[in-house]
């Protein structure tokens, strides 16, 4: 299971790669820093939904350490 699908693995300020809803078909990733975690459940099969500091909302595909 990708670490981006488990809410407790993501913290505010983490650098992550997200896929925006309009890019789900292409899988295009956007890199940014987590400002807010929008998914309330402990995990989500498509990735935890977050808002980045630049205002972009997407589902976490990778957490950059």
CATH of the domain at 59: 2.30.30
- pLDDT reading at 27 higher than 60: yes
Q: CA angle, corner 14, sides to 22 and 38, nearest 5?
A: 50
- Please count the residues of the chain: 65
Look at the chain and report how many structural domains it folds into.
1
Q: Whole domain around residue 52: which residue ranges?
A: 3-64
- The answer to whether 42 touches 8, Cβ cutoff 8 Å, is yes
Average pLDDT, the chain: 95
Average of per-residue pLDDT across 27-36: 97
Average of per-residue pLDDT across 8-32: 97
pLDDT of residue 64: 94
- The answer to whether 48 touches 10, Cβ cutoff 8 Å, is yes
Burial class for 47, CB neighbours closer than 10 Å (0-12, 13-18, 19+): buried
- pLDDT reading at 1 higher than 80: no
pLDDT of residue 65: 79
């Amino acid at each position: 299971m990708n670490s981006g699908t488990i809410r407790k693995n993501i913290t505010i300020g983490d650098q992550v790669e997200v896929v925006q809803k309009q890019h789900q078909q292409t899988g295009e990733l956007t890199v940014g820093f987590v400002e807010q975690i929008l998914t309330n459940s402990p995990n989500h099969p498509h990735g935890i939904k977050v808002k980045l500091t630049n205002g972009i909302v997407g589902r976490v595909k990778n957490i950059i350490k």
